[in-house]
């Protein structure tokens, strides 16, 4: 076996190393034959170095080098020399030098890869990249992403450890809990018919650590949800999980902001302005139609009900009678939007159930539109004043059920911002959203937790718990970055009676409470400190840091949107013997 | 809600803080009424501070303090004062001062806990401590263990990051692989009848990262094995997983030794001597009967076959005819061991299948024993010389099948060392065990991997692969600490043909290879660097560092030896609806 230990990495050699005897190991990236000389770009995780095989220097090496093909693994010894006049490559950090090889060993040959591993090749189908994930890594970008992910992870740990937090690992083999999403189950062999569940989050454990007196906990951990996946979701995902006792929301906000400031400085080389903006959930919905607005977009919504009421436009008047919400959004400079484009936007909002998209353009200090005639001059001036429209602006208006209007305008706002390039990408817009409702209605108009059932109600709203629970605000908060919810947390209930009341309001029977949360309600009753926490979606954070919209770009071995691993070919059939040991059968009739 | 933010922790105040106004929050640890004054030991994760409630200073607080019971959570404000003459407690870091309370708020009441949370109480059943894990934590020791675990984990990370390693998370939802132990399975909802498996280790992933060019990888990760548990095993366990390319075994040993040196210095405040000792697998077995000897025990084995051959003792002579192995172990100063005790040791070794335990005591320069007459004087002197016996020593002898003799003497050696207190606990004995056989025979006398099928054969033994595979040594290594195997690793196969040969020798059919490892064999063929790695059993390491023989003492939320979580009551039954979605049935007939 040849000695493949390296003296340097492939991005390390400079003109300073001239005439030094060095050794390198790596992959053949490119080979070029040039008038008797053979040039090899040798690649490792750090970069490239050009090797030159000169028959006059070492004819054995030169002969052997003829065999080399892309992706073969080799180790060489040689001398650092200056590249010939005019041959320096200013785009390579090692571009001034090359290595004249006097010893070559082939460590591994390679079949022709199914796609080029050059970083520049862009149009490779993602399925192929996932199947050959290890080859995709050699293309450079993915490894750089994983290195940055590592760096951020390590910075998070160092920051939290420095301010007194302890990382504690919590179990993966847990118990099914109704946290909203579907659990992954693991059949137990020792207790046939019983199952573990993979954790949707370490929520219960971190609260138990607080009850146990751990004081300040964190963990970077894997969580699991068996949901139908969206583009930015994976069945298993990483979370930065933080919990602390005897602290308040202000100190949690401060800690989080300092953590991001540190990450931005040390990993992204950017400065952040703190404190972050705050906005109540209500104001978010009023101004942006969503609880995770991208504040980099210079457009916002305003209610239009009062103007509609004063108009003679029957569609709006009918909508008002049906208790619809009418809202408008100004597009600065949008008067250049053609009728055809407006039709396309109308089509766009129709996917959210909206039947029509009203609009005004402002030209010559007047509103122009097919419906302008239903708005008299003074009403038009009122609208212009209220929306601060200028000549050349456009106003879109939607009248529909409250959540439909909000959802459609939120999407339209983001759609137009992207299309018209209105987002200032040099900025990062952090926003704390607070005062969420404690409950929301599910599809059957029954109360369900907006966050989770351990969230403390707002102290000012405790009286409403019995009389009008849906009006109760919670002590929960989300952190939004550039329109993505990247973190979520709350002050927890530390009073077992309040916790019991929450479960009752969520219509859990005493048996269900006992079965699902019995041990937890019991734990609360042995002296629980006030505590609160936050969980950050680490994968999504990395997506934003690395400016990608594909969550798979920030994960070493991700799954597809159909939750399969194309490389492993998992999930897969297993031996019947394994299932017999677990005492489970596959319901094959249903499958066929 | 009272303001429960603290100015200090409960182990922080000293005589330097005299007369300062401070605030503390925590648990009522003990309450004593003393001539009108009420004393409370207030506890948090850091320690205790004595509070004093004086009716002359604040009668409201004093009245309220009458209500306080153990484990209630309170927050107080007060003044640091010096304890009265003769009342200082030198055993408490805060023992010189107390806090005269002028404001008291009760944050949580507490039921009487099922056991005392004082650290001193020792005889609490472990089942009860596991059920109320959060209360067990308040007793102090467990939290200290978890804090130390955290500290070691963080030091490991910092050490590896500083020398250029990247931490990469690998998936938990994987594919079943035959790594020797039973997999935990996770039924897939999207692909009914198919299963994910939880990883027994990230072995395949870390090798793929090397193939992908990550160069230096580590991860502190959870691994899973559905095995019947031993005392130092858990169904999920933590592993420090390390892999690197273009390095050799020497550099891996050096790295590992430096990591332990750092850990010992920074976490245990001890110095370690490097390099660690090395021993071949064969010498381990010869000298200690085991591949994980505790070198702190000053006893070793020696073969006795040649002496037995020269004796007239028919039991030994018969044993030799049956190709048995006869080995002896000297117990220094063991001549004081009574016949009754020897009978007990005979009983002890019988559990390993040994039928008899021979012995000699050396007294007056001669061997004394009921079998001494079968060994003539010159043979006795030969034995004395070879075993370096002195007057007062004892020699135990076992004649049985090779592995029975070795196993019994290994256990006897450890048993006697413990009983006779022969272990120097001030030392830590690290040992690299090398040159393991590549294969071993399973119960059906078929070849199986000793380590795992990706371990490279020893380059000197490649010729034996076809002719005599069981003689082939591997390039694997274990790290043994004080008789525990704490790490295991190997140089990996990077040649796809050698890998294919390994699978063939392990009697995998081409179909099985394709189904189970197809993607991996394929990956090897695209240019694989030489690579090697090691995996450290983190839980077991922490057991040794924290000097406990109970692995549950170093895990926040462990499972019992029956793989159940007594606090969560997991595993548990799940809704039929969940199983219907997964299209699996419980084989209830078999269960009943």
**Domains, chain B:** 15-108 (2.40.50.140), 144-248+447-554 (3.30.930.10), 297-423 (3.30.1360.30)
Cβ <8 Å between A224 and B173:
yes
Kindly determine whether residue A169 and residue B209, on different chains, have CB atoms separated by under 8 Å: no
Contact state of B188 with A6 under an 8 Å Cβ cutoff: no
Task: Using the predicted structure, report yes or no on whether residue A489 has a pLDDT greater than 70.
Answer: yes
pLDDT at B439: 92
Beta-carbon contacts of B566 under 8 Å, excluding residues fewer than 6 positions away, are: B127, B130, B131, B560
Smallest Cβ–Cβ distance between A186 and the set B149, B185, B525 belongs to: B185
Q: Please state the separation of Cα B457 from the chain's center in Å.
A: 28
CB contact under 8 Å between B529 and A73, yes or no, is yes
**A168 or B512, greater pLDDT:** A168
Residue A443 corresponds to which tokens in the numbers above? 């599809």
Contact between B564 and B229 (Cβ < 8 Å): no
Q: Which helix (H) or strand (E) holds B358?
A: strand B358-363
Q: Residue-wise over B66-105: b if at least 16 C-beta within 10 A, else e?
A: eebebbbbbbbbbbbbebeeeeeeeeebbbbbbbbbbebb
In B, which residues are within 8 Å of A173 by CB distance?
Answer: 184, 224, 235-236, 559, 563, 565, 570-571
pLDDT higher than threshold 90 for residue A504: no
Q: Which residue of A has its CA nearest to B1?
A: A459
The chain A residue lying nearest B222, using CA atoms, is A172
What distance in Å separates the CA atoms of residue B433 and residue B293, rounded to the nearest whole number? 10
pLDDT confidence of residue B591: 52
Nearest Cβ partner for A186 among B107, B186, B189:
B186
A30 chain-B contacts, CB cut-off 8 A: none
Q: Averaged over A394-399, what is the pLDDT?
A: 97
- pLDDT tens string B44-63: 999 999 999 999 999 999 99
Query: Count of CB atoms within 10 A of residue A21's CB?
Result: 12
Query: Which residue in B108, B172, B211 is closest to A495 by CB distance?
Result: B108
Question: Among all chains, which residue has been given the structure tokens 């919209």?
Answer: A549
Within 10 Å of residue A526's Cβ, how many Cβ atoms?
26
What's the gap in Å between the CA of A453 and the closest CA on chain B? Answer: 17
DSSP B168: -
Q: How far apart are CA A124 and CA A142, in angstroms?
A: 14
Report the sign of the C-alpha dihedral through residues A135, A136, A140, A145, in that order: negative
A368 in Cβ contact with A360 (< 8 Å)? yes
Q: How far is A60 from chain B (nearest CA, A)?
A: 22
| Residue A177: band (very low, low, confident or very high) from pLDDT cuts 50, 70, 90 | confident
pLDDT tens per residue, range B355-372? 899 999 999 999 999 999
Is the CB of A208 less than 8 angstroms away from the CB of B172? Answer: no
pLDDT value, residue B592: 47
Nearest CA in chain A to B75: A246
Which site among A571, A574, A587 would you substitute to test the B interface, given the most B Cβ atoms closer than 10 Å to its Cβ?
A571
Identify the pLDDT of residue B589: 59
Residues in chain B predicted with pLDDT less than 70, given as ranges, are 119, 178-180, 231, 588-592
Residue A179 pLDDT > 70, yes or no?
no
Tell me if A100 sits within 8 A of A22, measured CB to CB. Answer: no
Average pLDDT, chain A: 93
Residues of B within 8 A of A27 (CB-CB) are: 213, 527, 529
pLDDT per residue over A423-482, tens digit each?
Answer: 999 999 999 999 999 998 888 888 888 888 889 999 999 889 889 999 999 999 999 999
pLDDT of A592 > 50? The answer is: no
């Amino acid at each position: 076996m040849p000695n493949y230990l390296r003296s340097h990495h492939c991005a390390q050699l400079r003109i300073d190393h001239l005439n030094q005897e060095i050794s390198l190991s790596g992959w053949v990236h490119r080979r070029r034959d040039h008038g008797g000389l053979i040039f090899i770009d040798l690649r490792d995780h750090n970069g490239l170095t050009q090797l030159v095989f000169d028959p006059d220097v070492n004819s054995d090496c030169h002969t052997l080098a003829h065999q080399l093909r892309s992706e073969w693994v080799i180790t060489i010894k040689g001398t650092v020399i200056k590249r010939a006049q005019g041959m320096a490559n200013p785009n390579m950090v090692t571009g001034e030098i090359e290595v004249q090889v006097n010893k070559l060993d082939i460590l591994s040959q390679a079949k022709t890869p199914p796609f080029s591993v050059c970083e520049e090749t862009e149009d490779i189908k993602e399925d192929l990249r996932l199947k050959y994930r290890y080859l995709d890594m050699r293309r450079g970008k993915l490894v750089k992403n994983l290195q940055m992910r590592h760096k951020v992870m390590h910075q998070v740990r160092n920051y939290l450890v420095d301010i007194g937090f302890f990382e504690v690992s919590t179990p993966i083999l847990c118990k099914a809990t109704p946290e909203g999403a579907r659990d992954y189950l693991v059949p137990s062999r020792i207790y046939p018919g019983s199952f573990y569940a993979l954790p949707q989050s370490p929520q219960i454990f971190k609260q138990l650590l607080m009850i146990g007196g751990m004081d300040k906990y964190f963990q970077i951990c894997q969580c699991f949800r068996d949901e139908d996946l969206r583009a930015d979701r994976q069945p298993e995902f990483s979370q930065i999980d933080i919990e602390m006792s005897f602290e308040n929301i202000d100190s949690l906000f401060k800690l989080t902001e300092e953590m991001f400031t540190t990450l931005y400085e040390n990993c992204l080389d950017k400065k952040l302005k703190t404190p972050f903006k705050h906005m109540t959930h209500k104001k978010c919905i009023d101004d942006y139609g969503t609880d995770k607005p991208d504040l980099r977009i210079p457009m916002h919504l305003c209610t239009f009900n009062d103007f509609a009421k004063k108009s003679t436009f029957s569609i709006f008047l009918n909508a008002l009678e049906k208790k619809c919400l009418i809202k408008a959004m100004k597009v600065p400079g949008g008067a250049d939007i053609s009728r055809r484009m407006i039709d396309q936007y109308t089509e766009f909002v129709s996917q959210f159930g909206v039947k029509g998209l009203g609009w005004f353009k402002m030209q010559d200090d007047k509103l122009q539109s097919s419906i302008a005639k239903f708005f008299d001059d003074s009403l038009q001036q009122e609208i212009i004043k209220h929306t601060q429209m200028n000549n050349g602006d456009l106003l879109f208006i939607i009248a529909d059920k409250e959540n439909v209007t909000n959802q459609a305008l939120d999407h339209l706002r983001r759609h137009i911002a992207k299309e018209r390039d209105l987002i200032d990408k040099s900025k990062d817009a952090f926003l704390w959203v607070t005062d969420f409702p404690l409950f929301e209605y599910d599809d059957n108009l029954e109360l369900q937790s907006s966050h989770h059932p351990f969230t403390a109600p707002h102290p000012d709203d405790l009286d409403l718990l019995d009389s009008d629970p849906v009006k109760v605000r919670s002590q929960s908060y989300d952190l939004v970055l550039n329109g993505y919810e990247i973190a979520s947390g709350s002050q927890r209930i530390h009073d077992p009676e309040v916790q019991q009341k929450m479960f009752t309001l969520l219509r859990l029977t005493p048996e269900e409470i006992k079965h699902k949360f019995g041990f937890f309600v019991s734990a609360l009753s042995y002296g629980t400190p006030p505590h609160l926490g936050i969980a950050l979606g680490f994968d999504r954070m990395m997506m934003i840091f690395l400016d990608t919209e594909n969550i798979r770009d920030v994960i070493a071995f991700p799954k597809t949107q159909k939750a399969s691993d194309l490389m492993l070919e998992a999930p897969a059939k297993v031996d019947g013997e394994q299932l017999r040991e677990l005492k489970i059968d596959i319901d094959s009739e249903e499958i066929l």
